[in-house]
Amino acid sequence: MLSKRTKYGLKALTYIAKKEGEQPVRVGEIAESENIPQKFLESILLTLKKAGILGSKKGKHGGYYLRNEPSEIQMTDVMRVLEGPIAMVPCVSLNYYEKCDDCPDEHQCSVHKLMIEVRDSTLKVFRNTTLADLALN
């Protein structure tokens, strides 16, 4: 299930992408427009800034802005920053692999095989979707 943190992060990024070319976007403006608690949003935006997805500017006309074009921001990157591993179980994760304690042979495990299919399908969607795609709606 998608966490509120990730859902709000996606909504905020989409809002910023739609404002592209304008001044940096204030946190309060995003929070009000997207109905996101402002303190929670500040934490999310800071995480995205630390990951290099967003930049910020202080002062009277300050706020957050995208560091790259929306068409260059893949959902795989955003999801990993906000949600963590994309795979549902660690034994099929590409970036966070861990062997399952309860599985003596993952190559014979029916759950492992299914989760590889789920991971691959999910990755295909995320890799083929950019922030620009979300901002079109």
Q: Please name the residue that has the structure tokens 């074009």.
A: 69
Residue 105 has pLDDT above 90, yes or no: no
Q: Where are the domains of the chain?
A: 4-66, 70-135
| Whole-prediction pTM | 0.88
What DSSP string describes the chain?
Answer: ---HHHHHHHHHHHHHHHTTTSSPBPHHHHHHHHT--HHHHHHHHHHHHHTTSEEEE-STT-EEEESS-GGG-BHHHHHHHHT--SSSSGGG-SSS----TT-S-GGG-HHHHHHHHHHHHHHHHHHT-BHHHHHT-
Under CATH, which architecture does the 4-66 domain have?
Answer: Orthogonal Bundle (1.10)
Longest pairwise C-alpha distance within the chain? 60
pLDDT at 27: 95
pLDDT at 59: 83
pLDDT at 37: 96
Query: Contact 62/26 with Cβ under 8 angstroms?
Result: yes
- Percent of the chain whose pLDDT exceeds 70: 99
Mean pLDDT to the nearest integer, 54-65: 90
The Cα-based distances of 45 to 12, 23, 95, 107 in angstroms read 8, 16, 23, 40
Residue 35 has pLDDT above 90, yes or no: yes
pLDDT tens per residue across span 118-135? 999 999 999 999 999 999
Mean pLDDT of the chain: 92
